[in-house]
Chain A
Amino acid sequence: MRTSQRPGESPWTYLLLVAILIPFLFPLFWMFLSSLKTQVENTAYPPVWVFRPTLNNYHQVFIKNPFFMFTWNSMVVAAGSTGLALLLGLPGSYAIARFRRTGIALAILTARMAPGIGYLIPWFILFTKMKMIDTYSALILTHLIVALPLVLWVMIGFFEDVPAELIEAARIDGCSNFSAFLRVALPLVKPGIVATAILSFIFSWNNFLFSLIIAGFKTRTLPIAVYNFLSYEEINWGGLTAAATIITLPVLILSLFIQKHIVRGLTLGALKG
C-alpha cells in the first residue's frame, strides 16, 4: 500500500472507517436513544435496545424547566460575544497580519494559556460590586475572553493569505488603510469569517464555567440547565439526555453544514504561527 494516490478504494478502508465511526458516534447515539426511553427502561440492566420510544422526556424538560428562556439566553450571549469579538478582532488581526506584529500574536497565545478561573474570580468580584451579575452584558464580556483571542488567532492566518500586492494596489489607488481593509481584505477572507464566527458561537454556546459563576437566575444558559438536572430529584436519565440532546443538537447541525470552513479555521490556526 502506498501513501500516495491509489486509483480504487479498497473495501477494507470503508470497513475500517465504519469500525472507527461506531465508537465515535456511540455516545451521541446512546444519548439520543436514552432520551426516548422511560425511567424504567433507562434503569434496566442489561440495557434495553429495543423499546417503544416516547417523547415524554422532552415534554417534561420543556414543561418543568424554562428551556426556551435558557435557549434564548444562550443565543443572546453567543451571538453577542461573537459579534463583538468580530467587530474588535477583525481590524486587529488584519493589522497584525499585514504589519507582521508577531509579538502580539504570541501574547494572544499566552492569554489562551491562563486558566479560566483566574479571570473568573476578579471578574466575579467586580461584577458583583457593580451589580452586574445576572446581566447579559456581564456574560457577553466574560465570553469575550475566549472569543476574542480565537478570532484574532484564526483570522491572522486568513489575513496572511491575502496577497500583499492587492492591498498595495488599493492603497496606491488612493484607498485609506481602513478602506483597503474593508473593501479588499474582508471580502477575501469571508470563508474565514464564517468559520471563526461559527467556532466562536459554538464555544460560547458550550461554555460552562463562566456561565456557572456569572449567570444569574434570569440569564442561565443551557449548559447550566443540563447540570441542574442532577438536582434534588433522583437521577432523571431520560430528562437529562433529552436536555443534553436539545443542547447539542444545534451545534451538531451547525457543524455539519459548515465543516469545511471549521476545519480550515481550526487547522490554519495550527499550521501558521
Chain B
Amino acid sequence: MANEIRAHKIRAGVSGGESVSAWSVFVEDHPVLLFTLPSVAVVFVLMVFPVFYTVYMSLHSWFASSLTAPEFIGLQNFKRAIAQDERFRNAIWLTIYFTALATALQLVLGVALALLLNRPFRGKGFFRSIFLMPMVATPVAIALVWMMMYNPTLGVVNYLVGLVGLGPYKWVSDVRFVIPALAVVDTWEWTPLITLITLAGLATLPIEPYESALIDGATPAQMFWRITLPLLRPTIIVALLFRSIDCLKTFDIIYVMTAGGPGFASETLNVYTFQVGLFYFHIGYACSLLVILFALVLGVSLILIKVRRGTW
C-alpha cells in the first residue's frame, strides 16, 4: 500500500518534490508502530513495570525498612495467605459476597429501569442527566454523606425506615448489615451505568422477532423472557463484566465508611491489602495479596467473556 502511494506521489509530483527519505518511508510503512508507540511506551512504564515489581516482590519478604533488604522466600507469602491467614480468607469471602450482592442488585434494578425508560416520553434527556449524577459524583464525598445518613442515632435512614415501623439498625456498625449496607451505596452509585448500557443495547434490538411474536399471540411477559432477555444477553454480560471488575476492586467507599470494620467485617481483599501494604508495611506479603486479587479479577473476567462469546 505504501509503495503504491509512493509511486503515485512521485508520478503526481506531489509532496514538495522532496526525494522520499528513509525516514518518511519508515513512517509510511510502520503506522501502527509510530502511532501506538507513545501510548504503549507510557503504558509500559506506568503499568507494566509496577506489575513486574509487584510479582517480584511477592516472592520476597520486606518490611520496607531502609535498613534491611528484601529477602527471597519463594512462594511462602502465598502459602501463608492461603493456609494460615484467616484474615485473608475472610477478605476473599467478603470480596465475593460484596461483589455478588452488589452486582446482582444493580443488574436487576438496572435492567428493570432500562426497560422502563425505553418507553417514549418527554424529557428523556433530562432523566438521563439525572441518572448520570450518582455515577459522576465524587465517591469519597458520597461515602461521607451516606455515613451520615446511616448513623444509628442521628441518621435519616433510620428515621425513614422508622416511618414504616422498622426498628433502628446499626447499618455499617453492624457485622450482619455492613456488607449489604455498603452494597446499597454501590448500587445507588452504579445502577445507572447498567441502565445506560442496557438502554443502548435495547436500541439495537431488531423489531422482527417482536412483530412475529405479536402475530403468534405472545404475552408481554413471554416476549420479555423469550426475546428481549436472550437478545440482551451479550449486553448484560458486558455490563456485568465491567461492574464485577470494579466491585471486586472497590476501595473508596469501604475505606472511607468503615475502614474494613466493624472489626474486620467489611475488610475486602483490596482494603486488607491496603492495610498490609501501606499501613503495616509488609510489602512482600501485600504484593502476594495483590497477585491473588488480580488472579481473582482475571478469573471472573475470563469466565464472563467466555459466557458472552458462547452466545455468538
Stretch from B80-88, B99-107, B137-145, B171-179 forming part of the interface with A: B137-145
From 12 to 55 in chain B, residues with beta carbon under 8 angstroms from any chain A beta carbon are 12, 14-15, 24, 27-28, 31-32, 34-36, 38-40, 42-43, 46-47, 49-51, 53-54
Count of chain B residues near A, Cβ 8 A:
102
Asked if A208 meets B196 with Cβ closer than 8 Å, knowing A92-B40, A259-B129, the reply is no
Per-residue B-contact encoding for A155-188, CB less than 8 Å = 1, 0 else: 0000000000000000110101110010000000
A254 to B137 Cα, complex, angstroms: 11
> How long is the Cα–Cα vector from A141 to B49 in the complex, in angstroms?
14
Question: Are the C-beta atoms of A177 and B27 separated by less than 8 Å?
Answer: yes
Q: Does A50 contact B (CB under 8 A)?
A: no
Give chain B residues whose Cβ lies under 8 Å from the Cβ of A178.
27, 35
Which of A51-59, A60-68, A144-152 is the contact stretch?
A144-152
Residue of B nearest to A251 (CB): B136
Chain B, 42-76, contact with A by CB distance < 8 Å: what is the 0/1 string? Answer: 11001101110110010000001000000000000
- Tell me if B's interface is mostly helix, strand, loop or mixed: helix
Assuming the contacts A3-B228, A91-B39, asked whether A24 and B188 have C-beta atoms less than 8 A apart, the reply is yes
Q: Cβ of A132 < 8 Å from any Cβ of B? A: no
B116 within 8 A of A: yes
Contact B238 A115, beta carbon cutoff 8 Å: no
| B119: A residues at CB distance < 8 A | 6, 9, 13
Q: How many pairs of A and B residues are in contact by the CB < 8 Å rule?
A: 287
Contact (A4, B207) CB under 8 Å given A31-B141, A148-B39, A252-B133: yes
Interface size range on A against B:
35 or more
A136 within 8 A of B: no
Q: Which residues of A contact B51 (CB under 8 A)?
A: 114, 118
Chain A residues positioned under 8 Å from B159 (CB to CB): 45-47
Distance from A243 Cβ to chain B, minimum over Cβ atoms (Å): 7
A110 to B301, CA, bound (A): 9
Q: Judge whether A217 is part of the interface by a CB distance below 8 angstroms.
A: no
Q: A89-B39, A115-B249, A270-B197 are in contact. Are A251 and B137 (CB under 8 A)?
A: yes
Answer yes or no: A130 CB below 8 A from chain B CBs.
no
The answer to whether A9 and B197 touch (CB under 8 A), given A248-B141, A256-B129, is no
